[in-house]
Amino acid sequence: DDNGNTAVAQRIVIVGREPVADFNAVQIEPGRFAMDENCDFTPNRWDWEYSDGLTETRTNSSIFNHQWAYVPENDAYLACLTASNNFNQIFSLPADKICKDLTTGNEISESDFFIANPVTSIEDANLADALMIQPNPTNGVITLSVNGVSINATVNVIDLQGNVVASRALEGNSVTFDLSNIAKGIYVMQIIADNAQATQRFIVE
């Protein structure tokens, strides 16, 4: 100004934008898919949802495998991906989401995607209602009980990558696992009987 004062202004320019979600999936074997994000504009967080009821959050874009916890009716293997980065957080922008039918590769609407309960018959429903996992969360030792039912079945413990990390035979109405040597995280307890199957999630702390 006329008095010799100088004003300095600083402008911050942020280059980039919020991601656009997309992914590819290739079936490796029945119920097991290789998942590969194919997003634009550099996300740093990928939130996955699957029609077997499992969800997971990833912070890197590496290819990974997902094993369905059960075989869905009509091979309806569905998945959704929500991609986000710092733009979504800084500017409170909604994250982009895409859902696909993995069998056909076609995009589907979010309303067509549903988190399916692993129940496909009356027998499955009865078995699912009878399951009890204790304690949940667990520090290692965990017991699966089938209330009011005595059956012969196979019980698998499956991680989020679809790997069977433990398996035991159920004879009667309960079976106990010692999982103290496996990594902390979310797992699926899968029970397969002659005429029914069901799953339940649990946490190892």
3-class secondary structure for 14-26? CCCCCCECCEEEE
Mean residue pLDDT of the chain comes to 81
Cα separation, 121 vs 71, whole angstroms:
12
Residue given tokens 């988190």 in the structure block: 115
pLDDT in tens, 98-118: 999 999 999 998 777 754 444
Average pLDDT over residues 132-140: 89
pLDDT in tens, 31-52: 889 999 999 988 999 999 888 7
Q: Which has the minimum average pLDDT: 19-28, 52-61, 82-91, 188-197?
A: 188-197
The contacts of residue 66 (CB under 8 Å, 6+ apart) are 32, 33, 35, 48, 50, 54, 79, 160, 161, 162
Helices (H), the chain: 86-90, 122-130
Amino acid 145: pLDDT: 87
* Class of the CATH-defined domain 122-204: mainly beta
Amino acid 15: pLDDT: 54
Average pLDDT over residues 84-103: 87
Cα separation, 10 vs 32, whole angstroms:
53
DSSP 8-class letter at 156: E
Give the pLDDT band (50/70/90) at residue 170.
Answer: confident
Give the pLDDT band (50/70/90) at residue 198.
Answer: confident
The model's pTM is 0.56
Amino acid 124: pLDDT: 56
Is residue 62 a contact partner of residue 38, using CB atoms and an 8 Å limit? no
Which two structure tokens, joined as six digits, stand for 126?
């009865």
Task: Return the higher-pLDDT residue of 166 and 160.
Answer: 166
